[in-house]
Structure 1
Amino acid sequence: MKEIPSTTADKWFYEVKGQRLGGIDEPEIIALIQSGKLGHASSVWKQGFTDWVRLEDTPLRIHLDQLSPPPLTGQHVNNTLVWVLAFAPILGLFLESFVAMLVYGDENRAMDAVADNNFFYITIALNILLSVLDEKRLQKAGHNTSAFKGWVWLVPVYLYQRAKQLKQNLAYFGVWIGCFVLMLLSTAV
Structure 2
Amino acid sequence: MTKHSQEPPILWFYEYKGERKGGVGESEIIGLIENGTVSHGTSVWKKGFSDWTKIEDTELNIHLDKTSPPPLSGEHVNNTVVWILAFAPIIGYFLEWVVAGAINSSEWKAEKAMAEAKYFYITIILNVALSYLDEKRLSQAGHNTEKFKGMTWLVPVYLFQRAKNLNHNMAYFAVWIVSFLLVLSA
TM-score by length of 2: 0.90
Residue of structure 2 equivalent to 1:95: 95
Rounded to whole Å, the distance in 2 between the matches of 1:94 and 1:173 is: 20
Rounded to whole Å, the distance in 1 between the matches of 2:50 and 2:9 is: 14
In the TM superposition, residue 27 of structure 1 has moved relative to its aligned partner by 2.9
Conserved? CA contact 2:34–2:67, under 8 Å? yes
Question: What SS is found at the alignment partner of 1:15?
Answer: strand
Residue of structure 2 equivalent to 1:65: 65
In the TM superposition, residue 42 of structure 1 has moved relative to its aligned partner by 2.1
Conserved? CA contact 1:33–1:39, under 8 Å? yes
Rounded to whole Å, the distance in 2 between the matches of 1:105 and 1:142 is: 49
Structure 1 residue runs of 4 or more that deviate by more than 4 Å after TM superposition: none
Between Structure 1 and Structure 2, how many residues are aligned? Answer: 179
Rounded to whole Å, the distance in 1 between the matches of 2:154 and 2:14 is: 29
Conserved? CA contact 1:74–1:166, under 8 Å? yes
Question: What SS is found at the alignment partner of 2:51?
Answer: coil
Conserved? CA contact 2:32–2:38, under 8 Å? yes
Question: What SS is found at the alignment partner of 2:157?
Answer: helix
Residue of structure 2 equivalent to 1:81: 81
Deviates more, 1:44-53 or 1:137-146: 44-53
Residue of structure 1 equivalent to 2:134: 134
Unaligned runs of 5+ in 2: 1-6
Conserved? CA contact 2:45–2:51, under 8 Å? yes
Residue of structure 1 equivalent to 2:175: 175
In the TM superposition, residue 65 of structure 1 has moved relative to its aligned partner by 1.0
For residues 116-149 of structure 1, the C-alpha deviation after alignment (integer angstroms, 9 at most, x for no partner) is 1011111111101110001111100111111111
Rounded to whole Å, the distance in 1 between the matches of 2:44 and 2:110 is: 57
Question: What SS is found at the alignment partner of 2:49?
Answer: coil
Rounded to whole Å, the distance in 2 between the matches of 1:124 and 1:21 is: 39
Conserved? CA contact 1:9–1:47, under 8 Å? no
Unaligned runs of 5+ in 1: 1-6
Question: What SS is found at the alignment partner of 1:21?
Answer: strand
Rounded to whole Å, the distance in 2 between the matches of 1:121 and 1:127 is: 10
For residues 59-111 of structure 1, the C-alpha deviation after alignment (integer angstroms, 9 at most, x for no partner) is 11111011111111111110000000000001001100111111113222112
Rounded to whole Å, the distance in 1 between the matches of 2:32 and 2:153 is: 32
TM-score by length of 1: 0.88
Question: What SS is found at the alignment partner of 2:146?
Answer: coil
Percent of pairs identical after alignment? Answer: 58
